[in-house]
Chain A
Amino acid sequence: MDVKNYIIRQISVFSENKPGRLASIAKAFQEEKINILAFSIAEADGFGVVRALVNQPDKAFKKLTSLGYNVAFTDVIAVKMKDEPGGLFEIAELLGEAGINMEYAYAYSGKEAAVLIIRVDHLDEAVSRILTKGGTLLEAKVFS
């Protein structure tokens, strides 16, 4: 098993909490014909972080940086869930038993399956524990 295969590069963008910021980021993606696969916004007092999985992360990084955004890559993993009642519980329980502490998580429900995207502190260990417990991780290439 090569852990690298499962590590997905998420784009994180620093954004002030003010009208039009999301539109500006989304417009940049549209212009570059970048597809957004999953997406979330975390907000704090006065600012927020926009997180997205996109099909061309390098292109997205370059475009947003050129627009003056503060952008970073963050490594996350994507756990496959059953798209049916109890699907999240099954995975959450698995993560709990595996002793994995999530920094944050967000989910999307796609054509193939539902996916829980998580950021954890110790990626390598998390990947092997999830796989050992019988979980399914999406490979990074699915997103490109």
Chain B
Amino acid sequence: MVIWDQQIETMPRDDIRKLQYRLLKTLVYKLYSFSPFYHERMKQAKVHPDDINSLADVKKLPFMYKADLRDNYPDRLFTASREELVRYHVSSGTTGKPTVVGYTRYDLDNWTNSLARGLVSCGLGRGDVIQVSYGYGLFTGGLGLHYGAERIGATVLPTSVGNTERQIELMQDLHATAICCTPSYLLHMGEVAEKMGVSIKKDTDLTTGILGAEPWTDVMRSRIQEWLGIRAYDIYGTSELSGPMFVECTEQKGFHVWSDLALVEVLDKDTGETLAPGERGELVITMLQKEALPMIRFRIGDISVLDEEPCPCGRTHPRIRRIQGRVDDMLIIRGINVFPSQVEHTLMSIPEVGQHFQIVVDRRGALDDMLVRVEISKDAFSDKINDLMQIRSKVEHKLRNALNVGVTVELVEPGSLPRFEGKSKKVIDRRNL
């Protein structure tokens, strides 16, 4: 079995913990000295770097939230100078304001290495042609996997998203052996391929799918593997961690979290107490080596289980099992994070519709379809159909701009939408994953 970085990936657990402690201690001193934001946070929490004397002491440190990045837009959390930064990525935020992440050369190197380890762990390497069908650009998916794939010596086919028929032609003509995309996009490709008279199973060289950026299940995995004749691996990450970071090994039982880069805690989402390995809870992640944008005890919002059982693949780093849910009401639509609060925020700026809304998410074919129902306000009601259609177009347009994802809007009668206290009930998710 090939391992990308034998020394790190098979390091004994005790040595890993020592390394993590050393990295954590250094990081905390550095942040206390150089990050006004985190210095203040630590003072509020009445914790000093001298209080961190074991790995378990991490729980004394204050949390970071996605909102911290938004509130400190664009780069007030950065701890690297402009001269040290070599890249930005930007993702859409919860209230229309995006969040910006930055990287030093060292950050990019760690990110790329993390993916190199992961791609090798699921059997890829020199001689493979990896089709990267994640978006290239501000989104981390495309460029992240691009450099990860190059590093292991594979050949990259950087198709990015869209133009599905061309993607299938190139997959055939250039003999792609692996594809990186969202699971729903791969299913969509399978359908389009069949319409073109192409069977991905029989007519292409595809053996591997690296699938993520949206929730999926083992049932979907079986369907994809059987239908397309490939092995499908989960990939995990967010822009705050750098981008897509961790890939499942050939065991397909969760992704190894490289402990020299990330320290994972699993907390009871209600009490905040640390849970034992094997217990299901909220993931909290500390990035141990990031220079430009350190993340300490980041409440990533995902729920899963940390598996510390030894893995038959030989890698000693613990695994996180497939993500099993969210602590908030975030939806992932065609790979894009969508918060109901974004919808609410946008609708409030449109006087023609009321503040009440309902989101219905469905699968149309293989792709997610998002419908937003809004009530037409009394003042805006005109008996001209054209006026009403224009209001609908306006709402669709504004939502698309705010969410970065296409939305269908339905106008409904005032008072007809259910009234709830909590936001989550405003969402009906009919996707059968």
Contacts and interface: CB of A to CB of B under 8 A. Distances in A.
Contacts of B382: 12, 72
A80 interface: no
Nearest to B415: A68
Interface residues of A, number: 21
B414 interface: yes
Given A44-B388, A44-B389, A70-B378, A15 B383 contact: no
B413 interface: yes
Contacts of A68: 413-416
A105 interface: no
Contacts of A15: 413
A16 B412 contact: yes
Contacts of B376: 14, 70
Contact of A70 (B381, B384, B385, B389): B381
Nearest to A49: B383
Contact of B383 (A43, A46, A69, A74): A74
Contacts of A104: 384
Contacts of A31: none
Interface in A36-56: 42-44, 46-47, 49, 51
B385 A44 contact: yes
A103 interface: yes
B411 interface: yes
Interface of A: 10, 12, 14-16, 42-44, 46-47, 49, 51, 68-72, 74, 103-104, 119
Interface of A is mostly: strand
A68 B375 CA distance: 11
A43 B383 CA distance: 11
Given A14-B376, A16-B416, A49 B385 contact: yes
19 contacts: A12-B381, A12-B382, A14-B376, A14-B381, A14-B411, A14-B413, A16-B412, A16-B413, A42-B383, A43-B385, A46-B411, A49-B385, A68-B414, A69-B413, A69-B414, A70-B376, A70-B381, A70-B413, A70-B414
Nearest to A11: B383
Nearest to B410: A46
A126 B414 CA distance: 34
A103 B384 CA distance: 8
Nearest to B389: A44
Closest 3 CB pairs of A and B: A12-B383, A68-B415, A70-B381
A89 B7 CA distance: 91
A42 B385 contact: yes
A72 B381 contact: yes
